Amino acid sequence: MPRGDRRYLVFRRVAALRATSGFSFILVLVLLALVGLALALIGPRWAHEEQRTRERELIRVGTSYAQAIAAYVEASPGASRSYPLSLEVLLVDDRFVGIRRHLRQIYTDPLRPGQPLELVRGSDGRIRGVFSSAHGRPFMQSTFSAPQVQPIRPAQEYQEWHFIADPRP
């Protein structure tokens, strides 16, 4: 094969590669656009699911606190029924010979991670319940009730959900 023919073949190969070299780049751009569109459509749904999960966790934690406070009041020795002065006494109730635990741990606010729940205090300064100080409209818009907890009514904001103990007489 003469030398000129080799150059011609090399030139044709290079020309063929140049003609198709932009195809991969355009394909990658189209794929990135599709992934971005899919994430834009799925993102709000994921955010709502996360909010619903945190809302369910708030209901669980708030109910646990209210039931622990009710158990503390019901376990009061004698005729005087007293509410706790702090949440720590729910962890270790030393009013008796043996230690009683009404709550396993101090929970944080599920809607504001790392922040404590706010306390509902009675006129005597004792704790009656807890609530979240988070803003936002709850997804749950029906009345919620649990044993030893005053019913939670539909609300415009999470701050209106007060988990207050309702001890048995």
Could you tell me the residue ranges of all domains in the chain?
A: 3-164
Q: Which parts of the chain sit beneath pLDDT 70?
A: 1-8, 10, 14-21
Residues 59-93 pLDDT 10s = 999 999 999 999 999 988 877 889 999 999 999 98
Q: What is the pLDDT of residue 2?
A: 55
Q: What is the pLDDT of residue 17?
A: 64
Q: What is the pLDDT of residue 42?
A: 87
Q: What is the pLDDT of residue 18?
A: 65
Q: Strands 127-131, 162-164: parallel, antiparallel or unpaired by DSSP?
A: antiparallel
CA distance 16 to 18: 5
Q: What is the pLDDT of residue 33?
A: 92
Main-chain dihedrals φ then ψ at residue 127, nearest 5 degrees? -80, 125
CA distance 66 to 152: 12
The model's pTM is 0.76
